């Protein structure tokens, strides 16, 4: 009998590599190669030939300098996008956790409500959102103001209520933060539907014995939340924060401006520099946020 040269462990390693092979090839062909090329573009002046080919000539840091110091909008858009992202992330995270907890309790019509909360994934992005925006964009100007006049007012004086809260002596900045969020509540709800689903999955996986124990020991609902639910879903908080940051970045104006720079003005070098700059910044933010959250994350196993 021929002696098998490969041990079972080695065989499994080879099979495992075969399983991830399609992805690995794709990663090398599309991601590694593209990242290297993008970096090269960002340091060069890119000329597009008629046939679709291109030539690059090295110009050092000029693209970066131009993007940061001379481009009329890039700085502002970059800062705005990142501030918006940082403002939204904590709220979206807690909002989706809160809604997930509500949706995780038993009530009639649960399926319907869950279906409604899934709808924004469909309505709130991509082509459908673009169409809606375009349709309302065309309405601006004369017609839009007519519509605004024709629309029935809700009969609620929002300013009045804001005034009441202002007089309560809440700090101004907090108030502006809250008013800002409420004003964009639709976008917030839209941006948190995937996170809600992920949190529901997390809540379902908390062993019910933990809740039973805390009930027997006489913990209040509040205590149970902070001592049981929160630590148990904390691994998913990291996932959700990362998802929120990436998602809001992908939908931000920075991406749009990089896109238009490349495909409207054909300035590939500048566009690559913009992309890389924003990506590096977002990766840095992700790294810092990840490091902070990991410190407070509790792993059950």
Partner 1 sequence: MKVNDIVVQLKRINEDTVLINKKSRYLHKVKAFLFSVLKFIILLGISYIIIGPVISIISSSFFSSTDVYNPSVFLFPLDPTLDNYRLSYLRLDYWKTLGFTMLYISAITLLQVFIASMAGYGFARFEFPFKGFLFGCVIITIVIPTHTIMLPIYQHFRNWDVFGIFQAVLGHKLNLLSSEAPMVLMTLLGCGLRSGLFIYIFRQFFRGLPKEIEEAAFIDGAGMWYTYFRIMLVNAIPSVITVMVFSMVWQYNDTFYSGLFSIPIEHNITVRLSTLQATIGFLDNIKDPNISQLNVYAGLILVLIPILLVYLALQRYFMEGVERSGIVG
Whichever of 175 and 184 has its CB closer to partner 1, that residue is 184
Is residue 33 within 8 Å of residue 39, measured between CB atoms? no
- Positive/negative CA dihedral, 108, 198, 292, 172: negative
Closest separation in Å from C-beta 164 to partner 1 = 20
How far is residue 245's CA from residue 177's CA, in Å, rounded to a whole number? 19
How far, rounded to the nearest angstrom, does the alpha carbon of residue 222 sit from its chain's CA centroid? 29
Closest separation in Å from C-beta 77 to partner 1 = 14
Closest separation in Å from C-beta 75 to partner 1 = 18
Helices 268-296 and 253-263 pack at an angle, to 10 degrees, of 160
| 247 membership: H or E segment, kind and range | helix 230-250
Whichever of 137 and 166 has its CB closer to partner 1, that residue is 137
Residue with tokens 């992805």: 23
Whichever of 38 and 68 has its CB closer to partner 1, that residue is 38
Whichever of 166 and 226 has its CB closer to partner 1, that residue is 226
How far is residue 81's CA from residue 149's CA, in Å, rounded to a whole number? 32
Q: Of 55, 183, 58, 193, whose CA–CA distance to 114 is shortest?
A: 193
Closest separation in Å from C-beta 204 to partner 1 = 4
How far, rounded to the nearest angstrom, does the alpha carbon of residue 204 sit from its chain's CA centroid? 23
Whichever of 133 and 166 has its CB closer to partner 1, that residue is 133
In this structure, the chain runs to a length of: 301
Closest separation in Å from C-beta 126 to partner 1 = 3
Whichever of 130 and 166 has its CB closer to partner 1, that residue is 130
Closest separation in Å from C-beta 258 to partner 1 = 6
How far is residue 292's CA from residue 296's CA, in Å, rounded to a whole number? 7
Whichever of 56 and 175 has its CB closer to partner 1, that residue is 56
Closest separation in Å from C-beta 149 to partner 1 = 8
| 44 membership: H or E segment, kind and range | strand 44-48
DSSP category for residue 31 = I
């Amino acid at each position: 009998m021929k002696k098998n040269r490969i041990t079972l462990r080695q065989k499994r390693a080879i099979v495992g590599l075969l399983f991830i092979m399609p992805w690995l090839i794709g990663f090398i062909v599309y991601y590694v190669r593209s990242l290297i090329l993008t970096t090269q573009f960002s340091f060069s002046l890119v000329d597009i030939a008629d046939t679709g080919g291109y030539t690059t000539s090295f110009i050092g840091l000029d693209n970066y300098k131009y993007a940061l110091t001379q481009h009329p909008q890039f700085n502002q858009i970059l800062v705005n996008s990142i501030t918006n992202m940082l403002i939204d992330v904590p709220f979206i995270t807690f909002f989706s956790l809160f809604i997930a907890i509500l949706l995780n309790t038993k009530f009639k019509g649960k399926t319907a409500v869950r279906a409604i909360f899934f709808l924004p994934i469909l309505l709130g992005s991509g082509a459908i959102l673009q169409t809606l925006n375009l349709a309302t964009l065309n309405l601006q100007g004369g017609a839009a103001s007519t519509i605004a006049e024709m629309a029935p007012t809700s009969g609620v004086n929002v300013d009045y209520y804001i005034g009441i809260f202002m007089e309560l002596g809440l700090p101004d900045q907090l108030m502006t933060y809250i008013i800002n969020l409420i004003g964009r509540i639709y976008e917030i709800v839209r941006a948190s539907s995937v996170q809600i689903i992920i949190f529901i999955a997390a809540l379902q996986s908390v062993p019910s014995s933990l809740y039973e124990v805390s009930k027997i020991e006489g913990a209040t609902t509040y205590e149970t939340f902070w001592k049981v639910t929160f630590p148990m879903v904390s691994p998913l908080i990291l996932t959700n924060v990362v998802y929120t940051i990436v998602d809001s970045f992908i939908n931000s104006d920075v991406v749009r401006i990089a896109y238009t720079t490349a495909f409207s003005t054909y300035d590939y070098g500048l566009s690559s520099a913009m992309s890389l700059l924003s990506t590096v910044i977002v990766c840095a933010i992700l790294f810092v946020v990840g490091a902070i959250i990991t410190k407070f994350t509790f792993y059950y196993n």
